[in-house]
């Protein structure tokens, strides 16, 4: 298994260690995951799949909890998804 994984966050290439979650890639590339219904920026809070603040779109699938999903090569991640 390669020890680095490259993926895209909002079109920007980002490299994370193998085994890192998508939330880590988003933190490095964008700094936040989504806008709340009143427009506040939000990022991961619980880190364990419960708060849903880390939601992003992964390969076109909306509302994915980025803290529970491992980054994979060539994933297309969109914040605010």
CA distance 60 to 79: 11
Nearest in space to 54 (alpha carbons), one of 24, 10, 9: 24
Measuring CA to CA, how many Å separate 39 from each of 30, 31, 34, 50? 16, 15, 9, 21
Does 44 engage in binding with ligand FES (CB under 6 A)?
yes
Site string for other proteins, 40-69 (x = CB under 8 A): xxxxxxxxxxxxxx-x-----x-xx--xxx
Task: Tell me, by CB under 6 A, how many residues bind ligand FES.
Answer: 12
Does 51 engage in binding with ligand FES (CB under 6 A)?
yes
Q: Which of 17, 31, 41, 49 contacts ligand FES by CB under 6 A? A: 49
Does 31 engage in binding with other proteins (CB under 8 A)?
yes
């Amino acid at each position: 298994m390669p020890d680095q994984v490259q993926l895209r966050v909002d079109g920007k290439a980002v490299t994370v260690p193998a085994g890192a979650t998508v939330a880590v890639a988003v933190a490095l590339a964008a700094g936040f995951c989504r806008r709340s219904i009143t427009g506040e920026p939000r990022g991961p809070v619980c880190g364990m799949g419960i708060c849903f603040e880390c939601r992003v779109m992964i390969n076109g699938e909306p509302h994915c909890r980025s803290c529970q999903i491992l980054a994979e090569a060539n994933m297309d991640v969109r914040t605010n998804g």
